Structure 1
Amino acid sequence: MGEVAEFPVDDEEAGRAERIEALRRRIAAVPARGEVQSVARGRVEAPSDRILPVPAPLAELLPQGGLVRGSVVSVSGATSLLLGMLASVTASGGYAAVIGQRRLGLLAAAEMGARLHRLAVIPDPGPDPVEIAAVLLDGIDLVVLGLGGASVPPSRARAVAARARSKQSVLVVTDGRWEGAHVRLEARVDGYRGVDGPGRDRLCATRLSVRAHGRAFPPRATRVEVCAGRSAVEWASEERNRLEDGHFRKAVR
């Protein structure tokens, strides 16, 4: 398993300017956006210029089939949604950063296919995580910002959104209030499979209800299953992997 880059920006002895400069130096060491060196083929491969990938069942909900560069996305509910995004982006050759999410399960992200060496983690961003996110937008494809319940003033949200647009990055905000997001994704756990009964002593699948809505499209909803495959955790639409209701144990609300 690859190592996760962790940015120690919470050092009390370091001044604000020094922390920001340290982040910029680290970002400068990241390869050019969207370029992945293929050792086997000896050439540079570039993913889509405009879209960051997401798990296939989520792509069906989004008008462009993924996360549009330069946009702000609000995510709430089950953390599998965030993990799936991180896995898809880093597995495709992109770079991602996670700010203020101490309990995000990186092992689960790796099991979904995330490349941890392309993931930077800042669990303790200090008193101003929004500023850290704004800096990381310069050079990182996907920046996940945990607000810790805070509400970001609309004027500042607009300024950071403009930066994401100019840098062609995607900002994902969660655990707080952010006005003006281009897309909002909500996920709810509906049930589990493999948690009880004979031979069911481990969790084999989680069923999610996912809803998407945004500025340019009406609300859409689907059900997906996050399943333990032979070698990795996989995402499947309910249409593709339909199971009888009796095979699932409903989530307790």
Structure 2
Amino acid sequence: MRSTRLSSEPARTDLAALPLDQRLARLRQQMDAIPTHGGSAARTPVPGHDVLPVPGPLGDLLPDNGLARGTMVACPRGAVLCGLLAAATASGRHAAILTDPAGPQIGLLAAWELGGVLERIAVVHTPDDRVAEVVGVLADGLDVIVLDLPFAHIRPSDLEKMRGRLRARGAILVTTRSDWARQAHLVLRIQRRPTYGLGRGRGRVSQIDLDIDALVGGRCVRRGRVVLRGHGGRTRWNHPDIDAAPLTLANTG
């Protein structure tokens, strides 16, 4: 796993070595250098009317086949989160991961194997008490912000300001914290099924099955299974061989 920055200039000082205020200023400068917000089209900050598409079987399980801009999404760590990062960066968007350097990190190798572009992912080490401020800065120039800080506390007033900033700028905040599910527009519940390819203490994983429930407003609107298969050092989402079409509960009454 490696950390990437918004700028690829090799002579730039490592962001992690700078005080937070200087890091924020540096991030603002780097985001200003991204043409038209990373090549994204003009963003309409109206949830449901502007969607960041997620192609393939994973997107088929999401409302509108993607993530509504200006919203908060709850998604645990793992393949699905890496798939969302891969979909965003592969289409030219930029993303950031807010994380604690002392804790376990999200496996960016998995995002790359799913087709993600690591040069478009910034890893920002963030103190727990400055989360709202950092999210507000990043929302000015990035499409997807992943909040991976299990112990961060945000006051209700700051949370509302942060949500307003996301809506105004059309950015998407993905939190890995399950206790934030009530705050999220979209909640992804993921259950891992049996893994294929491993024998008795040896072998190589060839397939992982995941059952996914997509909840909006506490109601399950889509449910289905996706299959993750690896080939040639890359990983791809597939529909199950049987019952390939996901169940769309919103159309069942």
Instruction: Name the TM-score class by shorter chain.
Output: 0.7 to 0.9
2:248 maps to none
Q: Do structure 1's residue 192 and structure 2's residue 191 form an aligned pair?
A: no
Q: What SS does the aligned partner of 1:5 have?
A: coil
1:144 maps to 146
Alpha-carbon shift at residue 126 of structure 1 (Å): 2.3
1:80 maps to 79
Output the amino acid matched with 2:154. V
Sort the Cα spacing of 1:73 and 1:139 in 2 relative to 1 into closer, same or farther, 3 A.
Answer: same
Q: What SS does the aligned partner of 1:93 have?
A: coil
Alpha-carbon shift at residue 230 of structure 1 (Å): 3.7
Alpha-carbon shift at residue 47 of structure 1 (Å): 9.6
Contact 1:211-1:220 within 8 A present in 2 as well: yes
2:205 maps to 203
Alpha-carbon shift at residue 208 of structure 1 (Å): 0.9
Q: How many residues align?
A: 228
1:173-203 CA-partner distances (Å, limit 9, x unpaired): 1135334211111212111110117xx7211
Output the amino acid matched with 1:192. T
Sort the Cα spacing of 1:222 and 1:92 in 2 relative to 1 into closer, same or farther, 3 A.
Answer: same
1:181 maps to 184
Alpha-carbon shift at residue 149 of structure 1 (Å): 3.5
Under a length normalisation based on structure 1, what TM-score does the superposition of the two structures give? 0.78
1:89 maps to 88
Runs of 4+ in 1 over 6 A off after TM superposition: none
For structure 2, the residue ranges without an aligned partner over 5 or more in a row are: 7-12, 45-49, 245-253
Q: What SS does the aligned partner of 2:187 have?
A: strand
The percent of aligned pairs where both chains have the same amino acid is 32
1:27 maps to 31
Alpha-carbon shift at residue 48 of structure 1 (Å): 8.9
Contact 1:151-1:176 within 8 A present in 2 as well: no
Sort the Cα spacing of 1:82 and 1:152 in 2 relative to 1 into closer, same or farther, 3 A.
Answer: same
1:200-237 CA-partner distances (Å, limit 9, x unpaired): 72111111111110139644321111110245200112
Report the structure, 1 or 2, having the larger helix content. 2
User: Which stretch has the larger CA shift, 203-212 or 169-178?
Assistant: 169-178
Sort the Cα spacing of 1:224 and 1:214 in 2 relative to 1 into closer, same or farther, 3 A.
Answer: same
Under a length normalisation based on structure 2, what TM-score does the superposition of the two structures give? 0.78
Contact 1:152-1:177 within 8 A present in 2 as well: no
2:123 to 121, 124, 142: 121
For structure 1, the residue ranges without an aligned partner over 5 or more in a row are: 37-45, 243-253
Contact 1:137-1:167 within 8 A present in 2 as well: yes
Alpha-carbon shift at residue 96 of structure 1 (Å): 0.9
Q: Do structure 1's residue 60 and structure 2's residue 64 form an aligned pair?
A: no
Q: What SS does the aligned partner of 1:203 have?
A: strand
1:160 maps to 162
